[in-house]
Amino acid sequence: MKKAVAAEPVKKAAAAKSAKKKAAAAKPVKSVTKTVAAKPAKSVTKAAAAKSAKSVTKAAAEPESRTALVRRARRINRELAEVYPYAHPELDFENPFQLLVATVLSAQTTDLRVNQTTPALFAKYPTPEDLAAANPEEVEELIRPTGFFRAKTRSIMGLAAALRDEFEGEVPGRLEDLVKLPGVGRKTAFVVMGNAFGRPGITVDTHFGRLVRRWKWTEETDPDKVEKAVGELFPKSDWTMLSHRVIFHGRRICHARKPACGACPIAPLCPAYGEGETDPEKAKKLLKYEKGGFPGQRLKPPQSYLDAGGIPAPPLGATAPPATGE
């Protein structure tokens, strides 16, 4: 009996010791299992993130297909058509001769300054014959505000004489004839053809060239090459109005130094978004002409422009009307 009683505590001690060993053995296994299980999971997450980032970078770096470029370019044109339904040439003119002379005078100056200068010029010399026979010094004085007035006087008097002598005093409507006139290049010729004769043409001025490069329509800088590259993206019937819309957008929103990205209606389609001010309120303050509530460039703008809230420009020497806001 005494032997059995003595054995009971020994059994209990042995059982407790065995349980303690099992617990000690189980703890490291659990910890190792947890560590081993967690490590691959973390590694997989990093790999997935890296793969995703790599995919995004690759997508951004992939060149736009020709089809995608054409679709994006034409969509931009449609969007601009809604924003500027009143887009028009911003030189005042009443006939092809006035438009031709005004376009030559617009080199290295604003359309506004030309519009403020030509009323007196055309009042004194209404026809090519009149201008061709003018006193050069008097013409120089009249067009002085446009800058480079001596060279411009030679050009407009030269083209007036050519119109008188070679085209019976009429402005020709063909590109090959227009570019033969003094001071007339392809840009001027297309302005006249598109707006005086209704013949399609792309006008590549500084605004047009700057914007189509920002939009990645082309990387060309030579005006003739820009004209060809952009012309291939659109049907000919779109060329003239496309030119007006792009130039309007460049003057009002997509400025050279500080584009108003935060107020731009085509921002989602623009690869250069973020080059300018992206805050909507700050961007709104950068808007010009009718978009900012200020006068336009024409003294006699089209009625559609006035109906859209556009304000006529003031004559030379007059005080501009106050801004009305948008």
Q: Closest Cα to residue 184, out of 121, 100, 126?
A: 100
SS3 content of the chain, % helix, strand, coil (to 5): 65, 0, 35
Any catalytic annotation for residue 165?
no
Q: How many CB atoms lie within 10 A of CB 307?
A: 10
223's tokens? 């005006």
DSSP string, 59-80: HHHSPPPHHHHHHHHHHHHHHH
Q: Give the whole-angstrom CA distance, residue 278 versus residue 276.
A: 6
Amino acid at 149: F
Active-site residue identified among 130, 177, 180, 205: 205
Q: Which long-range contacts (CB under 8 A, 24 or more apart) does 48-56 make?
A: none
Could you tell me the two tokens for 2? 């005494």
CA distances (Å), 111 to each of 54, 91, 115, 295, 314, in order? 48, 6, 6, 13, 13
> What does the alpha-carbon distance between residue 186 and residue 113 come to, in Å, rounded to a whole number?
22
Answer yes or no: are the C-beta atoms of 114 and 102 closer than 8 Å. yes
* The dihedral formed by the CA atoms of 83, 88, 91 and 97, expressed in degrees to the nearest 10: 170
Look up residue 199 and give its two tokens: 């013949």
The 10 Å Cβ neighbour count of residue 140 is 17
3-state secondary structure of 295: strand
Dist. CA 181–CA 193, nearest whole Å = 14
Closest of 195, 235, 203 to residue 212, by C-alpha: 203
Q: Is there a catalytic annotation at residue 236?
A: no
Q: Which of 92, 187, 238, 291 is catalytic?
A: 187
The catalytic site residues sit at 187, 205
